[in-house]
Amino acid sequence: MITELSIRNFAIIEALSISFDKGLTVLSGETGAGKSIIIDAIHLLVGGRGSAEFVRHGSEKAEIEGLFQLDDPNHPCFAKANEFGIELEDGMAILRRDISSNGKSVCRINGKLVTISTLREIGSTLIDIHGQHEHQELMDETMHLSLLDQFGGEKISSALNEYQYVYHAYEQKIKQLKNLSENDQQMAHRLDLIQFQLDEIRTADLKLNEDEELLEEKRKLSNFERVYDSLQSGYNGLQGEYKGLDWIGLVMGHIQNAAELDPSFKELAESVSNSFYQLEDAARTIRNEMDFLEYDPARLAEIEDRLNEINQLKRKYGKTAEEILEYASKIEEEIETLLNKETHIDQLEKEIASLRKDLLIEAEELSALRKISAQNLTKLIHKELKELYMEKTVFEVQFVRNTESFMRNGMDKGEFYLSTNPGEPLKPLSKIASGGELSRIMLALKSIFSKHQGVTSIIFDEVDTGVSGRVAQAIAEKIHKVAVNSQVLCISHLPQVAAMADTHLYIAKNIIEGRTKTTVKSLNESEKIKEIGRMISGVEITELTKEHAKELLQLAEQLKIH
């Protein structure tokens, strides 16, 4: 959920910091106080379209920052953030967007600069803003099948995974067949090219790790003089002009004499003796190594030529000898396939036919589960609509079977249809006119899908417009029901909705030093009564109005318990 929101120099807001809690938060206030501006700021924070018009007059830039706390480790935001290389430490996502006076935006997530499209993708997993005139996910018919699959839970998820596993194998075979079925001229050109490449690699007679071994040998030959001089100096120190071993031998004799006179020096004498004999062996080894060391300039030139040849192959076929040999093996298989194209085409066609049968079985199973899920969803939505006094509304999930080809998500296209009045035909949900009816339909759908979508926060921007009386009360209860599973922020002018709030924020604007400033205040119990009274009666608040407001709050508390 969103826990903190900071806004600076945005529209009429100079500086504002708001803390949000779980459950239902209602934002109310006079028209023009800045309620929708706060929602606009959140919309921009999660990737909405921005412009210089949002920057407060006289300021260089508008700044919006929000902190989101993710309690569920399986929240889709984690996978999406990981996709873009963004770490969400302690389940926190900090989104920031600056809009300059020239209209340019700078976006950050947890301090990392991101594009607006990245901000939008990650933001879509955190916030779902639903306004009366906006087409959100539920209004997008291309998303309906996905929503139905989410509603269907583990059974559909498992069946879809099985289908997609076979579908992936089927697509691979189709691609291979298409490549083999290209025109003969293209195939001949391809065959000539890879045959030339294979001959070039074979002629080079490359060995595994040969390049590394040659580099090591080159290093030794290039350092021959320095190695020989070092060994020569070491040998001279031991047995040459410096006579190091002679001196150590003299020391050994003296310590042995001391040990014969005093046994306590026996261990020291043995240590010196061992060192003398080890150094004597080392001197012989150095001498032998020097005898076998040989500088061969012809071999060095040969190595240089061979490394140049290998580097030429690397530029064409791989970064290492291993990669070059792997490429050779790959094109050797391709040559065999092209030379025996007809045989391979026949084999691929048989494999594709077999996969089509398997795919059809998986698709049929998936379709059957979706139809069962659609029936369950229909029952639940009819129940929700009845509670919103739309008992005559008919909801239906209509499927269209794609018989010509398989799709990534099956053979079905699913879309939500509605008829709001008896005798009227069912129409696509996306064609339903906006207004009070649409508000209730969307709330009914949200009540069900909010449990399955995993969106952190849902924002309703005056979705209760155009309703009153018992419908208003039903909408208030439905919004609170959505808030049980998701944090809900709601701009409302309905006292029934305000009474159901877990947190009530009052938005006001004041003229200070000739400039309009917006303020936000969290209302206590007595202030809630006063504000709900204002929403009931308008400007004048009477004792009767206050009593009515108290009654609404008491009723709301009872409804929350049940």
Please compute the mean of the pLDDT values over residues 290-313 and round it to a whole number.
87
SS (H, E, C) 333-372: HHHHHHHCHHHHHHHHHHHHHHHHHHHHHHHHHHHHHHHH
Per-residue model confidence as pLDDT tens digits over 66-87: 999 988 887 888 888 888 889 8
Give the whole-angstrom CA distance, residue 354 versus residue 84.
Answer: 38
pLDDT tens-digit readout, 443-475: 787 778 766 555 567 777 766 666 667 888 888
Cβ-in-10-Å burial (0-12, 13-18, 19+) of 549 comes to buried
Q: Is the pTM of this model over 0.85?
A: no
Residue 436 has pLDDT above 90, yes or no: no
Antiparallel, parallel or unpaired: β 92-100 and 105-109 = antiparallel
Please compute, for residue 472, the number of CA atoms within 13 A of its CA located in the half-sphere on the CB side: 17
User: What's the rounded mean pLDDT across residues 317-328?
Assistant: 92
**What is the mean predicted confidence (pLDDT) over 339-363?**
88
Phi, psi angles (nearest 5°) of residue 393: -75, 135
Question: So what's the pLDDT on residue 135?
Answer: 43
b/e code 174-205 from CB counts within 10 Å (16+ = b): bebbeeeeeeeeeeeebbeebbebbeebeebe
Residue 378 has a pLDDT of 93
| pLDDT at 256 (0 to 100) | 92
Report how far residue 322's alpha carbon sits from residue 307's, in angstroms, rounded to the nearest whole number.
15
Percent of the chain surpassing pLDDT 90:
29
Sequence-ordered alpha helix ranges (H) in 144-296: 144-152, 154-180, 184-204, 210-222, 224-239, 244-261, 266-292
pLDDT over threshold 80, residue 65: yes
Query: According to the per-residue pLDDT averaged within each range, which of 32-46, 217-231, 328-342, 366-380 is highest?
Result: 366-380
Give me the mean pLDDT over the 291-295 stretch.
79
Q: What average pLDDT is seen over the chain?
A: 85
Mean pLDDT of 317-332: 92
Q: Are 390 and 432 in contact (CB under 8 A)?
A: no
Q: What is the pLDDT of residues 124-175, one digit of tens each?
A: 888 877 664 444 556 778 888 888 888 888 899 999 999 999 999 999 998 8
